[in-house]
A and B are shown apart, each in its own frame.
Chain A
Amino acid sequence: MEVMMTRSKLLWMIAGSALLLLILFSVFRKGEAETVPAPAPRAVAVDSTKCIAPKEFMRANHMRVLYEWRNSSVREGNRVHVASNGSRFEKSLNTCLGCHSNNRMFCFNCHSYANVKPKCWNCHLSPMETP
């Protein structure tokens, strides 16, 4: 019985230290990943005269587009969006807000209806906050 106790204790210690190593490892990995090269100069000018896709598509899929934009522009540095008709846009929230900030409730009308709260405005200025 005594031996069993110490053995299980040993197992716990091994498991604990493995977990600790895993956490440390992931923290260091994250530190490495954060050293991204400085952002390249703008590839395309912000063009807010037309939308990147038809209204119906954007209504149903804007979250997928923005998610894809965030990953490819922030993590891979690819800041150019090529629309299906060949026109090029900068992958930036400013491209959207160039038009859509004229309606202060543009995002919030639907988002508050469905209680969807993405974390965009933790960093970006929302149409609510811009004059």
Chain B
Amino acid sequence: MPLVMVAVLALIPFLGVQYAGLSYFFGVIMPYTALVVLLTGFLLRLVDWLRRPVPFRIPTTCGQEKSLEWIKYNRLESPHRFWEAAARVLSEVFFFRSLFRNTKAELHKDSTLVYGSHKWLWLGGLVFHWSLLVIVLRHSRFFFVMIPGYVDFLDFADGFLDVTLPTFYITDALVLAAITFLVFRRLNDAKLRLLSLPTDYFPLFLIGAIVVVGVLMRYVMRLDIMPVKDQMLRLVNFSFDAPGEIGTLFYVHLFLVSVLAIYFPFSKLMHAGAIFLSPTRNLCNNSREKRHVNPWNAAIKFRTYPEYEDDYREKMKKANLPIEKQ
């Protein structure tokens, strides 16, 4: 079903531009709408999450907490300073450490349950995300008149194999392989198939379609790139001028990216922002070091010992009870 949805989504701009001449809608209106929806949606969700109170420290730890001087503690797994927690979040963002601990339970023939290390999801996810990052950064050649230096480096590193014309990018193949793996990972296992929802498949197929269309444009159709760069520079400068003569595939690519951007704030893709705000990861584990009081607890009337003694001093003296203040 999600596959059909993506196919229909890809057909819309194809028919719209090829037969109805709606290039202004797909080349100008759609990207701006998508940008507005993405930015406001992303911000609103972040603000919503930031407004949720987090009175107590609830990090998920797997290391020794900082306590006494002579007990070694684990800075990364049980952070007690801000920068340690930041390092923990960033290592999760860049290397997916929690996925590295992924295990797989298997029921063996003699009905023993065996847990084993299972790194494939970690590897597939890592390849997928890093390839996407490199691809997105490579695309910045369309957004700047003066092309930033890192694009040259990425071009060189990504096109290192130096085969085909135009140069084949390694990440193009890697991202397609990773998407294929991530889809088949869900389809392959009966348990996982049961757990998977259309919203799990849809972004995978959507990103897959974007990559496939991009690959077709670059290696197969060899689209004229000049009007594309013109159009992207216009978009970056918030111009509403009509796009020039661009191949239809470009509009399919742009429309699918727009759909992804619009879909982003309403979907599981928000994990991109959520990972930084998740209190089980970004908090310091310093409950022993510092007392955290729930701010909306009802005020309790305490009665201290000096007050008690003030009330009963004379009676205590008579009964020969020890008193602190004469």
Please tell me which stretch of A17-25, A112-120, A123-131 contacts chain B, meaning at least 4 of its Cβ atoms lie within 8 angstroms of it: A112-120
- Tell me which residues across on chain A come within 8 A of B147, comparing CB atoms: 115
The smallest beta-carbon distance between A20 and chain B, in angstroms, is 19
The smallest beta-carbon distance between A63 and chain B, in angstroms, is 5
B230-251 contacts to A, CB under 8 A, are 245
B224 contacts which of A60, A70, A115 (Cβ < 8 Å)?
A60
The smallest beta-carbon distance between B249 and chain A, in angstroms, is 14
Residues in chain A within 8 A of chain B (CB atoms): 59-61, 63-64, 67, 70, 110, 113-119
Seed contacts A115-B151, A116-B225; 17 additional CB < 8 Å A-B pairs = A59-B224, A61-B224, A63-B166, A63-B222, A64-B222, A67-B222, A113-B145, A114-B141, A114-B225, A114-B229, A115-B141, A115-B147, A115-B155, A116-B166, A118-B166, A119-B162, A119-B165
- Tell me which residues across on chain A come within 8 A of B162, comparing CB atoms: 119
- Tell me which residues across on chain B come within 8 A of A60, comparing CB atoms: 224, 245
In the complex, what distance in Å separates the CA atom of A116 from the CA atom of B245? 19
Chain B interface helix/strand/loop/mixed: loop
Decide if B278 is an interface residue (CB 8 Å cutoff): no
In the complex, what distance in Å separates the CA atom of A117 from the CA atom of B169? 13
In the complex, what distance in Å separates the CA atom of A60 from the CA atom of B225? 8
Chain A interface helix/strand/loop/mixed: helix
- Tell me which residues across on chain A come within 8 A of B166, comparing CB atoms: 63, 116, 118
In the complex, what distance in Å separates the CA atom of A70 from the CA atom of B165? 10
Decide if B64 is an interface residue (CB 8 Å cutoff): no
Per-residue CB contact flags for chain B residues 202-228 toward chain A (1 = under 8 Å, else 0) read: 000000000000000000001011101
B167 contacts which of A64, A67, A115, A119 (Cβ < 8 Å)?
A119
Of the A-B pairs whose beta carbons lie under 8 Å apart in the complex, a sample of 29, sorted by A's number, is A59-B224, A59-B226, A60-B224, A60-B245, A61-B224, A63-B166, A63-B222, A64-B222, A67-B165, A67-B222, A70-B165, A110-B226, A113-B226, A113-B229, A114-B141, A114-B225, A114-B228, A114-B229, A115-B147, A115-B151, A115-B155, A116-B166, A117-B155, A117-B167, A118-B165, A118-B166, A119-B162, A119-B165, A119-B167
- Per CB-CB distance, the 6 closest pairs between chain A and chain B, nearest first, are A115-B141, A60-B224, A114-B225, A114-B229, A115-B147, A63-B222
- Tell me which residues across on chain A come within 8 A of B224, comparing CB atoms: 59-61
Which chain B residue lies CB-closest to A70? B165
- Tell me which residues across on chain B come within 8 A of A115, comparing CB atoms: 141, 147, 151, 155
The smallest beta-carbon distance between B195 and chain A, in angstroms, is 28
